[in-house]
Amino acid sequence: MRILAFNCSPRAEHSNTERILKPLLDGAREAGAETETVYVSKEKLGPCRGCMSCMFRTPGECVQKDDRAALAERFERADVAVFGTPVFVFSMSAHMKKLLERLIFPMVRPYYVKVGDGFGHPVRDGGDPTKMLLVANGGFWGEQNFAPLEASVRQLCDAGVVDDGRPVSEYAGSILVGNGVLLEAPGVGYPLRPFFEKLKAAGAELAADGALSDETQESLRAPLWTYLGMDEEQALASINDHIRQMEPASD
pLDDT tens digit sequence for 169-218: 899 999 999 999 999 988 888 999 999 999 999 999 999 999 999 999 99
Between CA 155 and CA 53 the distance in angstroms is: 24
Which range marks the domain in which residue 6 is found?
Answer: 2-246
Q: Specify burial of residue 56 (Cβ count, 10 A radius: 0-12, 13-18, 19+).
A: exposed
DSSP code for 116: T
- CA 242/CA 43 separation, integer angstroms: 34
* Residue 70 maps to a domain: yes
Q: Is residue 251 part of a domain?
A: no
Q: How many CA atoms lie within 13 A of 16 on its CB side?
A: 20
User: 21 in a domain, yes or no?
Assistant: yes
Helical packing angle, 16-30 and 193-209, nearest 10° = 50
pLDDT digit string, tens, across residues 29-56: 999 999 999 999 999 999 999 999 999 9
Q: Is residue 125 part of a domain?
A: yes
Q: Is residue 210 in some structural domain?
A: yes
CATH number for the domain spanning 139: value is 3.40.50.360
- To 10 degrees, what angle do helices 94-104 and 68-77 make? 80
Residue 196, in any domain of the structure:
yes
Domain assignment present for 236: yes
Query: Does 117 map to a domain?
Result: yes
The 10s digit of each residue's pLDDT in 118-162 is 899 999 875 567 899 999 999 999 999 999 999 999 999 988 887
Number of domains in the chain: 1
**Other C-beta atoms within 10 Å of 7: how many?**
28
